[in-house]
Amino acid sequence: MEVNHAIATRRSLGRVTQDPVPREMVEEILASAVHAPNHKITEPWRFHVFAGKGRGELARARAELARREAEAEGEEEDMAAGRISRERKKAFRAPLVIAVISAAGREEVESLENYAACCAAVQNMQLTAHSLGLGSIWRTGPVAYHEYMREFFGLEEGDRVVAYLYVGYPDMDERPRCRKPALESTIWHEE
């Protein structure tokens, strides 16, 4: 797929089928990530691939975090059970979930730039998935960044969770994309 076309036609697709993503495709998606620009060639990306039954590991972690939060908030048992179940199910929204982690740099600026490089890597992954006929969505939110999830991934200070990329075969229509034209966000310095 031509790159401009891939960029313009990619959409975040939150609904995908449970059909497994072939291993070769997963490897192609990962391979595209490491072509992202990265300052000082730190190659800061780390990937955790959760596929098929392996998603259970992620589901258990999310459920345990939900349980702890419900307990800390003194939530009633029924409410807590619903919350835990909803969180557990989230890991199974796609047949493949790739967590992208950014490794700490040697100092603050390098850590920041490592994170930036990983964001570029995620875009590569989404474009590659799209070119393979797959849908993907980059998900995060407070739970993704929570200390409990950091421990789950064995992160050290300065390491960061960048994305949970949910990938699978599309099971929804593509939404139109509405964006302000780039020129509305542009200041030209020409003279």
Ligand X SMILES: Cc1cc2nc3c(=O)[nH]c(=O)nc-3n(C[C@H](O)[C@H](O)[C@H](O)COP(=O)(O)O)c2cc1C
Specify the 3-state DSSP secondary structure of 69.
Answer: helix
Q: What is the C-alpha end-to-end distance of the chain, expressed in Å?
A: 38
Which of 137, 149, 165, 167 binds ligand X (CB under 6 A)? It is 137
The footprint of ligand X on residues 5-44 (CB under 6 A) is 11-12, 14
Which of 140, 151, 153, 154 binds ligand X (CB under 6 A)? It is 140
Tell me the sheet residues that pair with 170: 16
Counting contacts by CB under 6 A, is residue 142 touching ligand X? no
| Count of residues in contact with ligand X, rule CB under 6 A | 9
**What 8-state DSSP symbol labels residue 154?**
T
Token pair recorded at residue 66: 């939900």
Q: In angstroms, what is the minimal distance from the CB of 189 to ligand X?
A: 27
Q: In angstroms, what is the minimal distance from the CB of 127 to ligand X?
A: 11
Separation between Cα atoms, residue 67 and residue 22, nearest integer Å: 33
Counting contacts by CB under 6 A, is residue 138 touching ligand X? yes
Counting contacts by CB under 6 A, is residue 123 touching ligand X? no
Q: In angstroms, what is the minimal distance from the CB of 155 to ligand X?
A: 17
Counting contacts by CB under 6 A, is residue 141 touching ligand X? yes
Could you give the residue ranges of the DSSP H alpha helices within 19-172?
Answer: 23-33, 55-72, 77-90, 108-131, 142-145, 147-152
Nearest CB to ligand X, comparing residues 12 and 42: 12
Token pair recorded at residue 176: 């139109």
Are 101 and 151 in contact by the 8 Å Cβ rule? The answer is no
Contacts to ligand X by CB under 6 A? 11-12, 14, 137-141, 177
